[in-house]
Amino acid sequence: MLPTLPCPFPLDKILVCTDVSPASQGAVKAAIDLARACSARIFLVYALEFFPYYEYAQPDALGLPPAAGQELFELRERTAREHLENWQREAAQQDLEIEVRVQTGASAYIQILAAADEIQPDLIVMGRRGKSGLERVLVGSVTARVIGHTVHKVLVVPRDAVLSFKRLLVASDGSPASQTACQTALGIAKQTGGQLTSVTAAYGDLDPKRAKSLVKDLAAEAEKQGVSLITLIPGGRPEDAIIQVATAKPTDLIIMGSHGRTGLKRLFLGSVAERVIGQVACPVLVVKRPE
């Protein structure tokens, strides 16, 4: 008998992104668990990058004649479809149906966004690359760009992470984005019975007095909703505080806000979210601020 995961919030459609790398395995497994818990539909998308300029216009650059370039692309597409079919079979063993799609284009993140615009999912689930080199600090570019552009919630799941809602952590700094994250976190904790911890780092423009005021307001709202809340007001940079708490205190899920979709924020999440996602071992739910 498979363990039962509580449904954290209403989910009808889940878009999960995959490829043949091990990094996407945790994301697909988490999406399957959520679909089973929430009776949601899964749309499994494989974004197959295709560069006709290199593969066809200049075949000599790859040392391949045009026919070989076409064969290479067809091989990549067959591999993608086989990968998707394997996940379909695994889901079928759990009495779940998955709609699979191969999206082809010059940029993986654009294809994922195009699929999201069509499907309008309640949640996008993506993987995270390994923890070597810069990847210890920054989340992968495809995931960062999807989060930067999309209006939907995005759940980032490390390769070996197991999704759970028992021990939740929410980052709060008083911004509209973090207020949305706090409301989402309270809702998840109330729905699942999870223990919620809030981290409000007194740093920069957020002085200790203001941090205490934010924590007091959040504690009052948690009590009103019947949610068990632990509040922490550490010093230092927010990303360091969040990572340290999540490392020292067993944490199943971090909930964070995204500050919008303008300027560089269309491409990058910003240092706090990028470093948190890149370094913690648990999944991170990025909540978008209402526009």
pLDDT tens for 35-91 read 999 999 999 999 887 755 444 445 555 555 555 566 777 788 888 888 888 888 988
Give 132's contacts (C-beta < 8 A, 6+ positions apart): none
Does 139 fall in a domain?
no
2-16, 91-105, 133-147, 233-247: least confident range: 133-147
Q: Assess whether 180 and 97 both reside in one domain.
A: no
* Residue after which a domain boundary falls, among 63, 97, 127: 127
User: Taking the mean position of all CA atoms in its chain, how far away is CA 151?
Assistant: 13
Segment 5-11 shows an average pLDDT of 95
pTM for the model: 0.87
Phi, psi at 91, each rounded to 5° = -65, -35
Residue 221: the pLDDT is 97
Residue 135: the pLDDT is 41
Does 180 fall in a domain?
yes
The residue count of the chain comes to 291
Strand order in the sheet with 229-232: 98-105, 41-49, 13-18, 123-127, 154-157, 284-288, 253-258, 167-171, 195-199, 229-232
Query: Structural domain of residue 72, as residue ranges?
Result: 13-127
Does 149 fall in a domain?
no
* Residue after which a domain boundary falls, among 127, 149, 183: 127
Residue 68: the pLDDT is 56
Report the range out of 57-66, 100-109, 143-152, 219-228 with the highest average pLDDT: 219-228
